[in-house]
Structure 1
Amino acid sequence: MSTKLTTLAEAVRTLVRDGDQVVLGAGLEQAIPFAAAHEIIRQGKRNLTSVAPISDMVGDMLIGAGCIAKVVGAWMGNVSAGLGHNYRRAVEQGLPHPIAIEDYSNFTLALALWAGAYGAPYVPVRTILGSDIMASNPKILKAEDPYTKTPIALIPPLRPDVAFLSVQRAAANGDSHVWGNLGVMQEAGMAAERVILLADQIVASEVIASDPNRVIVPGFRVAAVVHTPCGQHPSPLAGHWKRDGDFFTDYHRLSREPESFQAWLKEWVFEPGSPEGYLAKLGRRVEALRIREQALSVPANYGAS
């Protein structure tokens, strides 16, 4: 069996290109692949488009590091504290450089990824009719429902170049298990041209095959698998890691000014140098975040005879 296992540095170097449209944080508030954002920053990727369905502070730090040229999404910030300071500076002051905004609601962004995943030319929806989004995003068209003759909005498909997905466990062939709040992980993974998995655990393919319903993106759609224990920190990962609320709060405070944000980048991104260095810097904090409670699901019988 061929292996797709690689290092995070190699995956980012070979699979993320300047100018790419990238999804990070498709699990909404859980399973955000922060380790991938750190590596993108370290490698100095530029002119990226961030597809941001509640990406928490991961998109904000990429903006502050100068990696992002455009945001496609509804919101960019820190769920624990509010709108991201780097995002605000880029929009209002053009610092570190101006960024473009392609506005969606969270729901219509999810529909756009769904359309990309299923090859649909558009998705009809009524929820944003009359909103400012119709005026700010010329890609969303107004049309007439051919059945009811009432107005509808047409959401175009999103087909990102790269999707980073954090999962609880994966096999070397790219099959994986993920559970908890999935957000739009499946839609993002199936819509993207290249999928990179950040796996908390690497397991035998037989483990994944034992529960196929937890596989949201089949292995043949996956370009690379990276073993990154706690690679979603400070976001949570169901059954594995708790949310590090203090880390989010500290980031929001330190990103308020460009100088203190640069100091934060140096301390938490550049000096650690790798996912392993980041874990070492977290030290005892890691064990305090590990979920120890057992709340197991009831086994499912897949027997057929």
Structure 2
Amino acid sequence: MTDLQVNSKLMDLTTAVDRFVQDGDCVALEGFGHLIPFAAGHEIIRQNKRNLTVCRMTPDLLTDQMLAAGVITRLVASFFASGSAGSLYELRRRVEDHDPEPLEVEEYSHYGMVCRYQAAAAGLPFYPLRSYAGSDLPQLNTDIRKVTDPYGGGEIYVVPPLQPDVTIVHAQRADHLGNVQMWGIVGAQQEAAFAGKKVIVTVEEVVDPEVVRSDPNRTLIPSHAVDAIVHCPGGAYPSYAQGYYDRDNLFYRDWTAISRDPKLIRSWIDRWVYNMPDRAAYMEAVDDERWASLQVATKMSGAVNYGQRQPQH
């Protein structure tokens, strides 16, 4: 076998989800408004995974869709929102009316979620933070606790580590070895990846290792932390991938009406998830004019000189 075959972490999305996501798992799906792993979430639905605990900063349209599909039984999250474009009615029905059944919710602040991932990534028993002072969250979530500062600083809030069974993120590019590069707005993808027991990364493109080595500071998740790389163009749509396509704001606005009607949201899932064999088919079905309107012009970043040792004579 060649080095490419021996060391490659490339696989298709169906295989990656089937291999690494099991019923009852705790699954982190991270991407902070940007690079949301919609394709992976849809594949989880398509494979009829059940009883998942889903961890996500800003549970949004993807969470609404997975709830409607019956995938999620527990949600660990911060700031419930639809990308500033409306309400998440499937989520609201579950939380407010227990319709069609109750949803267990464990809520933190954004920073609290990041601290939980950091604690797990570092093997720490908890992570201290001050941002819960004056908040009602500690009364609503008993896992947000106070400890005494051993250095005499009084009491401070702490949160427990969050170690997902699987972390799934989307990124702009990676090499076949599993070195993942991102730019633009990044949320807790790096922390969640280091915290996860297994890591799946979907990417817009797979590049040669030489491309990664030419700009190493963009490598937010190195190969040793990655189990699967999936080439998945459009994998973040309808969210956006900086440098590849813009966010489909019209879809985000339309989602309010879709999610308001339980029959309509399930009809949407049937049409756009269950009846699509894979992400390529999904993207093929997106209206050409609409997709064209989301394409972005090239704007290259400035070059930097990493330097190279002079040959010795």
* TM-score interval for Structure 1 and Structure 2 normalised by the shorter chain: over 0.9
Equivalent residue runs for 1:55-74 within 5 Å: 55-74=59-78
**What number of residue pairs does the alignment pair up?**
304
Match of 1:155 among 141, 153, 159: 159
How far apart in 2 are the matches of 1:49 and 1:275? 23
Instruction: Kindly provide the amino acid, as one letter, of the partner of residue 43 in structure 1.
Output: Q
Q: 1:153/1:203 Cα in 2 relative to 1: closer, same or farther (>3 Å)?
A: same
Query: Is the partner of 1:160 in helix, strand or coil?
Result: coil
1:288 matched to 2:293: yes
Residue 208 of structure 1: how far off its partner (Å): 1.0
Equivalent residue runs for 1:1-305 within 5 Å: 1=3, 2-24=7-29, 26-284=30-288, 285-305=290-310
Query: Is the partner of 2:169 in helix, strand or coil?
Result: strand
Residue 304 of structure 1: how far off its partner (Å): 4.1
How far apart in 2 are the matches of 1:89 and 1:206? 49
Residue range with higher mean Cα deviation, 94-103 or 66-75: 94-103
Q: 1:268/1:302 Cα in 2 relative to 1: closer, same or farther (>3 Å)?
A: farther
| Contact preservation (8 Å) 1:77, 1:87 | no
How far apart in 2 are the matches of 1:220 and 1:144? 36
| Contact preservation (8 Å) 1:77, 1:85 | no
How far apart in 2 are the matches of 1:216 and 1:29? 17
Unaligned runs of at least 5 residues, structure 1: none
Instruction: Kindly provide the amino acid, as one letter, of the partner of residue 42 in structure 1.
Output: R
How far apart in 2 are the matches of 1:143 and 1:83? 37
| Contact preservation (8 Å) 2:31, 2:37 | no
Query: Is the partner of 1:5 in helix, strand or coil?
Result: coil
Query: Is the partner of 1:37 in helix, strand or coil?
Result: helix
Residue 195 of structure 1: how far off its partner (Å): 0.8
Residue 67 of structure 1: how far off its partner (Å): 0.5
| Contact preservation (8 Å) 2:59, 2:77 | no
Query: Is the partner of 2:221 in helix, strand or coil?
Result: coil
% same residue = 37
Instruction: Kindly provide the amino acid, as one letter, of the partner of residue 294 in structure 1.
Output: K
Query: Is the partner of 1:77 in helix, strand or coil?
Result: coil
| Contact preservation (8 Å) 2:87, 2:256 | no
Unaligned runs of at least 5 residues, structure 2: none
Query: Is the partner of 1:6 in helix, strand or coil?
Result: coil
1:154-186 deviation line (CA, Å, top 9, x unaligned): 111111111111111111111121111111111
How far apart in 1 are the matches of 2:309 and 2:293? 43
Q: 1:229/1:97 Cα in 2 relative to 1: closer, same or farther (>3 Å)?
A: same
How far apart in 1 are the matches of 2:100 and 2:297? 42
Instruction: Kindly provide the amino acid, as one letter, of the partner of residue 24 in structure 2.
Output: G
Instruction: Kindly provide the amino acid, as one letter, of the partner of residue 168 in structure 2.
Output: F
How far apart in 2 are the matches of 1:260 and 1:77? 20
Q: 1:182/1:104 Cα in 2 relative to 1: closer, same or farther (>3 Å)?
A: same
Query: Is the partner of 2:242 in helix, strand or coil?
Result: coil
Residue 149 of structure 1: how far off its partner (Å): 4.2
Residue range with higher mean Cα deviation, 232-241 or 115-124: 115-124
Q: 1:171/1:93 Cα in 2 relative to 1: closer, same or farther (>3 Å)?
A: same
| Contact preservation (8 Å) 1:28, 1:55 | no
Q: 1:282/1:13 Cα in 2 relative to 1: closer, same or farther (>3 Å)?
A: same
Residue 77 of structure 1: how far off its partner (Å): 3.3
Residue 13 of structure 1: how far off its partner (Å): 0.8
